[in-house]
Structure 1
Amino acid sequence: MPASFETLKRMHETDWAAYTAHGFVRDLASGALPEASFRHYLQQDYLFLIQFARAWGLAVYKSRDIGEIRQALDSLKAIVDVELGLHVGYCRQWDISEETLAGLAESRATLAYTRYVLDAGMSGDLLDLHVALAPCIIGYGEIASALIAHPATVLDDNPYRDWIEMYAGPEYQAVVATEIAWLDQRLATVDAARLAQLSIVFRDATRLEADFWQMGLDLS
């Protein structure tokens, strides 16, 4: 049976569950997450987006044909021209100014995951890079969809409702579907040895994403 993104998830079910059902996520769903934790996460997520843009710039370089170049360039432009501005606007709702964001230092968790992604892309190929990015791109969509569907999730008077609905919304879910389709097409052609290499990248990236949630709880 050809490998797919679901194959990677099955190979590392425990790590994926620890990330997608992390305490930070559960507290988002209930609205019990301390505001300071969410504000810290938001600020570091701004710095994360900057490094994410660099990763898509690397994806342009690693691309082998014009289709891949266009896809990577579109993702890069979406972050630089749209997402960063939206994030700054959302942070402003939490009384976090653009000046504050510009003066932030990266936390260790931010450094660890973003530099891991860049290293995976630099030392590997475009597929390695996409696999390293998958816990973020696909994981956020899966988390938000699960929260929206779960009867225990509180939306009324939940200060984090906008965050949940943004990632559960059709625009972001379309991004997720596109990324899954891209990965499934390419993973279907790899042999067992290559899949084993990629599964390590996926495992480590997933663990580092879980650490990013923990950073929010620890305010570290």
Structure 2
Amino acid sequence: MSPAARPAVDAPMNPEPLFERLKAARPADWQAYVDHAFVRQLGAGTLPASAFRHYLVQDYLFLIQFARAHALAVYKSRTLADMRAAQAGLSAILDVELGLHVRLCERWGLTPAQLEATPEHRATVAYTRFVLDAGMAGDLLDLHVALSPCVLGYAEIARTLAPAGVQALGDHPYREWIGEYAGAPYQAVAEAASRQLDVLAARSMTAQRFDELAALFAQASRLEADFWQMGLAAEAEAA
């Protein structure tokens, strides 16, 4: 899933980032996502290859919809800094991330034609359209909160799966995927996304609104967990 671009603004000083507050508010939903069986098996190297391939195809389709979410972020932005950040995120997906994902898929025996011909799974539709709806119905903060389990969650998961660094993974079958998200470039993107949440929250978040954002965050986390489950279900169906 594609990283968002770094915001062109500095977040105000905040001893407790909004992202950490959201996780603390809904710990069960967050843990069900980041500690899902798919993630544990991927980390252990025991995830069936067919489950991972199915996930890769749907993640490609997922990226296309996340490009739309970044385009929506441009429209929802009220400052040039926010617009530029959203535009950079859109460009990163369309011009870089999709190409990288296609090459990763090819190494797992998946051709571009197969990617294009595969329909979106209902789990893919559920989360991506939820994000787009959150952005359409709400403001830029709603949209970024809905995106955050993906953008920031992948960074957290990868750090957990590579505690001693990517080199220590050796010939792990999923080293390339883990390395993409555990690496410094993506980790920097995640940190920037967290700061952007704080910038947006400083403009418009009230105590009452935090509860609404926490509910939005929890639902997005559950939908991400469903995305992992989709991969495991595909393996079970094929067995």
Tell me which interval the TM-score lies in, with the shorter structure as reference length.
Answer: over 0.9
- Contact 1:187 1:195 (C-alpha < 8 Å) held by counterparts: no
Q: Secondary structure at the match of 1:87?
A: helix
- Which of the numbers 156, 172, 179 marks the counterpart of 2:186? 172
Task: Give the aligned residue type for 2:52.
Answer: F
Counterpart CA distance in 2 for 1:123 and 1:150 is: 42
Residues 101 and 43 of structure 1, relative CA distance in 2, 3 Å threshold: same
- Contact 1:136 1:209 (C-alpha < 8 Å) held by counterparts: yes
Alpha-carbon displacement from aligned partner over 1:163-198 (angstroms, at most 9, x marks no partner): 111100001001100000111233345211111111
Task: Give the aligned residue type for 2:210.
Answer: L
Task: Give the aligned residue type for 1:51.
Answer: Q
User: Could you say which residue in structure 1 is the equivalent of 2:41?
Assistant: 27
- Contact 1:5 1:187 (C-alpha < 8 Å) held by counterparts: no
Q: Secondary structure at the match of 1:210?
A: helix
Q: How does 1:88-103 map to 2 (within 5 A)?
A: 88-103=102-117
User: Could you say which residue in structure 1 is the equivalent of 2:19?
Assistant: 5
Q: How does 1:33-72 map to 2 (within 5 A)?
A: 33-72=47-86
User: Could you say which residue in structure 1 is the equivalent of 2:220?
Assistant: 205
- Which of the numbers 151, 170, 175 marks the counterpart of 1:161? 175
User: Could you say which residue in structure 2 is the equivalent of 1:193?
Assistant: 208
Q: Which runs of 5+ in 2 are unaligned?
A: 1-14
Deviation at 1:16, TM superposition (A): 0.5
Alpha-carbon displacement from aligned partner over 1:69-122 (angstroms, at most 9, x marks no partner): 000000000000000000001100011000000111000100000000000000
Deviation at 1:156, TM superposition (A): 2.8
Deviation at 1:3, TM superposition (A): 6.4
Deviation at 1:53, TM superposition (A): 0.1
Alpha-carbon displacement from aligned partner over 1:8-62 (angstroms, at most 9, x marks no partner): 0000001111100111111111100000000000000000000000000000000
TM-score (norm 1): 0.95
- Contact 2:162 2:182 (C-alpha < 8 Å) held by counterparts: yes
Matched pairs, number: 218
Counterpart CA distance in 1 for 2:32 and 2:171 is: 27
- Contact 2:149 2:220 (C-alpha < 8 Å) held by counterparts: yes
User: Could you say which residue in structure 1 is the equivalent of 2:121?
Assistant: 107
Alpha-carbon displacement from aligned partner over 1:125-163 (angstroms, at most 9, x marks no partner): 000000000000000000001111179xx8233210111
- Percent sequence identity over aligned pairs: 56
Task: Give the aligned residue type for 2:98.
Answer: L
